[in-house]
Amino acid sequence: MILNEHSPEGKHKKHAQLARPSTGNFGRNEWAIVGAPCTVIKLLADDIITVLSATYNCAYADTTHNDDVVQMPGRLASRAILDYTNQVNYQQFNFQNPLMPYQLKQQFANADLVLVNGNHQQANAQVVIIDINKKASLQKRVEQLTNVKLFLLADNSDDLFDFIKEAISNWQQIPIYKLSDREKIIAFFETNLQQAQPVLNGLVLAGGQSLRMGFDKGNVNWHGKPQRYHMADMLKPYCNEVFISCRPGQQTEIDDQYLSLQDTFTGLGPFGAILSAFRERPDSAWLVIACDLPLMDEGTLRNLVAWRNSSSVATAYHSPVTDFPEPLIAIWEPKSYPVLLSFLAQGYSCPRKVLINTDITLLNAPEPEALTNVNTPEELERIKRVIHQKTATN
C-alpha cells in the first residue's frame, strides 16, 4: 500500500508503508549478557547453546580482544573485499569492510536465539550478571539495561546492586538465579523460545487465472461451497487468522465473511502471494495451501501443524508425484521471508526451488492422495469420480 501524497500534517510522503519485522540488532530473539568478565559470558553462552542447539538454531555475537594491530587474514591483506574458505567442518567468511546493520541481520536471519557479549554489543533484551568485580563496569552501562529479563548472582554476590534497583523499577518482578544454576538458566531460555514461536496464519491461494482449467478453480463446488471457502474453513481451527489470497481487482469477488489479501508482488504466481502475505504480516508464520486440492483432509492438515518446526525455514510434505517438497501445502516461517526475497533477487520465483535449497522439515503425508491438485477439466472429472466413490463408501 502506498501512502497518500500528503499526510494529515501536510508533509509529503514518498515511501511505501511497509510492516517491518520485529528484529533487533541481530535477530528476533537476542539477549545481551552483561556484568561479568568476557570469559564468564562466553562459558555461559557455550553451555546454553550446547543444550538448546539440539532444538533451536543458536548464534553468538562478540568482539575480539586483540589489542595489537594484526595483519588481516587471508586475501584481505591484498585488498580483497571478501575472503571465503570452506573449512570442511565449517564455512568461514572474512570481510574487508564493516558490515552494516542491515547486513548483520541477514547473517543472523536463520537464528532462533542470538546470545551477545554485552560488554561489547547491545541487544533488545538483557541478562545481567551481578559480580562484585565488575560493579564499576556495569554501572557505566546501566543506561543500556532497557529490557532486563533475568538477573544472575555470581558466587561473590548475594543481592542486586543498589544502582540496579534504582535504575530498574520492576526489578522485583524479574527472576534472580545463581550463575552456577545452569539448569534453571537454560530452562529460562527454552521457555522464552517456546513462547516466542510465531503466530500461525492461514493463506488460501486463490488468485490464479486457471488458464488450463478454463474457469476459476476457486469457485468449483466440491464439498457444498466454493472451494476457496471450503479450504479457508478447513484452516480456521489451526490458524489465528485465515486469508484468501487474490489478484488485484479480485477482492470484490470474495465473500465479506472471509478475510482477503491482495497480491502486491504481481506476476509471480504463488511465490508473489506468499511474499505479499509476509509483506502484510512479516512476524507471522503462514500455513499456505492451494485452493485446487479437493482431496485435502483434516488429518493431513492436523499432521502438518503437529509436526511444525518453527526453527526451520518451512515445514512441508514430500510429494510422491514430483519427488520434491510440496510448497503449496506448507508452513512458511517468518525467517523464510528474506530467503524468498533473496531468491527473487537472483531471478528465481519458484517456491519449490526455495524449499529444495534451504533448511526445511520434510514430512511424509499420512494420505499422499490428499496432495492431489486439479489443473485441467480431465483431472477435474477424475477427481469427481474419486470423491463420489468416497462419499458412497462412507
CATH, residue 366: 3.90.550.10
Same domain, residue pair 270 and 388: yes
Same domain, residue pair 152 and 123: yes
Q: Which amino acid is at 394?
A: N
User: What is the span of the domain harbouring residue 43?
Assistant: 30-63+76-195
Q: Which pLDDT value is given to residue 87?
A: 85
Half-sphere exposure at residue 377, Cβ-oriented, CA atoms within 13 angstroms: 3
Residues across the chain: 394
For residues 40-56, give the mean pLDDT: 96
Tell me how far apart the alpha carbons of residues 96 and 380 are, in angstroms, rounded to a whole number.
58
Same domain, residue pair 119 and 247: no
Same domain, residue pair 130 and 174: yes
Q: Which pLDDT value is given to residue 4?
A: 39
Residue 4 lies in a domain: no
Is the pLDDT reported for residue 315 higher than 90? yes
Q: Which pLDDT value is given to residue 49?
A: 96
Residue 297 lies in a domain: yes
**Banded model confidence at residue 330, pLDDT cuts 50, 70, 90:** very high
Domain end: 195, 226, 243, which one? 195
**Banded model confidence at residue 1, pLDDT cuts 50, 70, 90:** very low
**Banded model confidence at residue 241, pLDDT cuts 50, 70, 90:** very high
Which of the two residues, 152 and 107, has the higher pLDDT score?
152
Residue burial 284-315, b: 16+ Cβ < 10 Å; e: rest: bbbbbbbbbbbbbbeebbebbeeebbbbbbbb
Tell me how far apart the alpha carbons of residues 92 and 84 are, in angstroms, rounded to a whole number.
6
For residues 305-317, give the mean pLDDT: 97
Residue 14 lies in a domain: no
Same domain, residue pair 190 and 205: no
Burial class (CB in 10 A: 0-12, 13-18, 19+), 12: exposed
Counting the structural domains of the chain, the total is 2
Question: 333: which DSSP letter?
Answer: P
Q: Which pLDDT value is given to residue 89?
A: 87
Quick one: how far is CA 332 from the chain centroid? 8
**Banded model confidence at residue 383, pLDDT cuts 50, 70, 90:** low
Domain end: 195, 222, 253, which one? 195
**Average pLDDT of the chain, as a whole number:** 88
Q: What is the dihedral of CA 215, 220, 226, 229, to 10 degrees?
A: -80
Residue 198 to residues 49, 116, 201, 334, 352, Cα–Cα distance (Å):
21, 22, 9, 7, 22
**Banded model confidence at residue 207, pLDDT cuts 50, 70, 90:** low
Is the pLDDT reported for residue 312 higher than 70? yes
Asked whether the beta carbons of 240 and 214 are under 8 A apart, the reply is no
Is the pLDDT reported for residue 14 higher than 70? no
Which of the two residues, 90 and 326, has the higher pLDDT score?
326
Half-sphere exposure at residue 270, Cβ-oriented, CA atoms within 13 angstroms: 22
Q: Which pLDDT value is given to residue 394?
A: 59
Q: Which pLDDT value is given to residue 379?
A: 67
Residue 27: closest CA among 116, 137, 135: 116
Domain end: 169, 195, 221, which one? 195
Which of the two residues, 374 and 27, has the higher pLDDT score?
27
What's the distance, Cα to Cα, between the start and end of the chain in Å?
48
Same domain, residue pair 244 and 357: yes
Which of the two residues, 89 and 343, has the higher pLDDT score?
343
Lowest mean pLDDT among 6-15, 51-60, 111-120, 216-225: 6-15
**Banded model confidence at residue 389, pLDDT cuts 50, 70, 90:** low
Same domain, residue pair 55 and 176: yes
What percentage of residues in the chain have a pLDDT greater than 90? 64
Q: Hunting for cell 571465503 — which residue is that?
A: 84
Residue 25 lies in a domain: no
Torsions phi, psi of 321, nearest 5? -80, -50
